[in-house]
Each structure stands twice: as C-alpha cells, then as structure tokens.
Structure 1
C-alpha cells in the first residue's frame, strides 16, 4: 500500500509501481467513486470509453457533422468544409 498526499488544487500523484501495475499511461481516464467509510476508488477506463467520451464532447461542442445517408453525401460535406476553410485562410 502506498501513501499519497493531496496537493494544491486537490491533485495526487500515483506512485510509479501502481501506474505500471495498472497499465496506465498519460491521458488515460480513471473513474472516481466513493464507497463506504469514505473509501475512494479509481478504476481505469478502457480506451473505447475515452473515445466515446471525446466523441460526445465533440457533439456537445458542435464539432461533429452528419449524419449522412451515403458516403457520397459525407464526401460532399467534407469537400464543402475544406473549400470554406481555404477561403477563410486566404482572407
């Protein structure tokens, strides 16, 4: 068992041995929960969960396009977007 300290802004650093054993990398997501007697649990979430979370964030921020019924419809939308980006860059 390792002892960690809560720092300013309520940050903690996970000891190297824990990170390696859990297979964590920079950018990985951990689900935080609190159980009985105030026990805090951090559970690694798979990359698929991270991709879904990023996709949902993109949707909420308006950075997603579609849905498209056909591939041609999607390609046309991308070409239109690329054309408007080129015009904006020239200004």
Structure 2
C-alpha cells in the first residue's frame, strides 16, 4: 500500500468517512480506534491514528496471549509453580526439563 492522497466529504454533523484502505492500513476499523486531531498555525488539520493500546503492545492483548495469561494465573493460584533461590537454580531446573519428560511439581 502506497501513500494515500484523496478527499473525504464532510457530511451532516461534521461526520467524515475515511476510505476503507486507510482504515485498514492504520487499524482504524478496530474497536476503540480514534483519531488525534491537531490544528496547526498554518491552517493544516492533522489527523493521527491512535489505538487505546499502543501498537507495539497489541500482541499482549490478543485472545491467544490472554488465554495463556489466564492459564498461568490459574496455575499460580493453584500452587502449580516453582520458586528458585537464584538464577543458577532456575537454569539447572530448565536443563532438567529440556532433558526429558516432565514430572508434575507438587
């Protein structure tokens, strides 16, 4: 997708419909998407797409990652976790896990 240049009509009550390709490109069709509006001294009105969650953090909020977070929280609440005194003990435990079948930690 290249740089867009075009026009948008201003409809009743000041409604402006953005072209579909721009909405898709900047993820403005997602729930909560907004446009930041800046009026410059030279008379230019700038629109900047914004999302409630910064784009570089959106991976955390996708359904798959959130399901994994809920699973981890449930495991922690049920006591299905291990605690290590230092990094060496953690690394030794990871080596053990990588070398064979995992036994349940009580």
TM range (shorter): 0.3 to 0.5
The structure that is helix-richer by fraction is: 1
In our comparison, the structure showing a higher alpha carbon Rg is 2
TM-score using structure 2 length: 0.40
